[in-house]
Structure 1
Amino acid sequence: MSEHNGVIPDIAVDLTGRTAIVTGASRGIGLATARRLAAAGANVVLTARRRESAQEAAAQVDGPGAVVGIGAHVADKDQADACVDETMQRFGRIDILVNNAGTNPAYGPLIAQDHAAFAKTFDVNLWAPIAWTALVMDAWMREHGGSVINTASIGGLGHEPGIGTYNASKAALIYVTKQLALELSPKVRVNCVCPGVVRTRLAEALWKEHEQEVVSLTALERLGEPDDVAAAITFLCSDAASWMTGEALVIDGGQRLGEPGAFREGSWPAR
Structure 2
Amino acid sequence: MSKRFDGKTAIVTGASRGIGLAIAERLVADGARVVITARKKEALDEAVVQLGGPDVALAVAGRADDADHQADTVRQAIETFGSIDLLVNNTGINPVYGPLIDLDLAAARKIVEVNCIAAVAWVQQVHRAWMKQHGGAIVNVSSLSSVRTAPGIGFYGASKAMLNSLTELMAVELGPDIRVNGVAPGVVKTRFAAKLYEGREDEVTAAYPLKRLGAPEDIGSIVAHLLSDDAGWLTGQTVVVDGGVSLQAAEE
TM-score of the two chains, using structure 1 as the length reference: 0.89
Q: CA deviation at 1:91?
A: 1.6
Cα contact 2:137–2:227 (8 A) shared by 1: yes
Q: CA deviation at 1:235?
A: 0.5
The aligned residue for residue 218 of structure 1 is 208
Cα contact 1:56–1:69 (8 A) shared by 2: no
Q: Does 1:228 align with 2:218?
A: yes
Equivalent in 121, 124, 127 of residue 117 of structure 2: 127
Distance change >3 Å, CA 65–CA 16, structure 1 → 2: farther
Per mean C-alpha deviation after superposition, the further-off stretch among 211-220 and 112-121 is 112-121
The aligned residue for residue 31 of structure 2 is 41
Q: Does 1:14 align with 2:30?
A: no
Q: In 1, Cα distance between the equivalents of 2:244 and 2:234?
A: 22
After TM superposition, the structure 1 = structure 2 runs for residues 33-72 of structure 1, keeping only pairs within 5 Å, are 33-62=23-52, 66-72=56-62
The aligned residue for residue 13 of structure 2 is 23
Cα contact 1:16–1:65 (8 A) shared by 2: no
Q: CA deviation at 1:66?
A: 1.7
Report sequence identity in percent. Answer: 46
SS of the counterpart of 2:93? Answer: coil
Post-superposition CA distance 1:85-122 (Å, at most 9, x none): 11111122100000001110122222321222101111
Q: In 1, Cα distance between the equivalents of 2:174 and 2:101?
A: 35
Distance change >3 Å, CA 189–CA 196, structure 1 → 2: same
Distance change >3 Å, CA 65–CA 250, structure 1 → 2: farther
Q: In 2, Cα distance between the equivalents of 1:171 and 1:259?
A: 19
After TM superposition, the structure 1 = structure 2 runs for residues 86-235 of structure 1, keeping only pairs within 5 Å, are 86-235=76-225
Q: Which runs of 4+ in 1 moved over 4 A?
A: none
SS of the counterpart of 1:59? Answer: helix
The number of equivalent residue pairs is 252
Distance change >3 Å, CA 63–CA 50, structure 1 → 2: closer
Cα contact 1:39–1:64 (8 A) shared by 2: no
Per mean C-alpha deviation after superposition, the further-off stretch among 23-32 and 100-109 is 100-109
Cα contact 2:181–2:226 (8 A) shared by 1: yes
Q: CA deviation at 1:63?
A: 8.3
The aligned amino acid for 1:236 is L
TM-score of the two chains, using structure 2 as the length reference: 0.96
SS of the counterpart of 2:58? Answer: strand
RMSD over aligned Cα atoms: 1.8
Q: CA deviation at 1:14?
A: 1.2
The aligned amino acid for 2:72 is A
The aligned amino acid for 2:200 is H
Q: CA deviation at 1:54?
A: 1.5
Q: CA deviation at 1:156?
A: 0.1
More helix as a share of residues: 2
Q: CA deviation at 1:19?
A: 0.2
Q: CA deviation at 1:259?
A: 7.3
SS of the counterpart of 2:25? Answer: helix
Structure with bigger gyration radius: 1
Cα contact 2:48–2:54 (8 A) shared by 1: no
Post-superposition CA distance 1:154-175 (Å, at most 9, x none): 1000212111110000100000
Structure 2 stretches of 5 or more lacking a match? none
Q: In 1, Cα distance between the equivalents of 2:55 and 2:139?
A: 20
The aligned amino acid for 2:214 is G
SS of the counterpart of 1:213? Answer: helix
Q: Does 1:244 align with 2:234?
A: yes
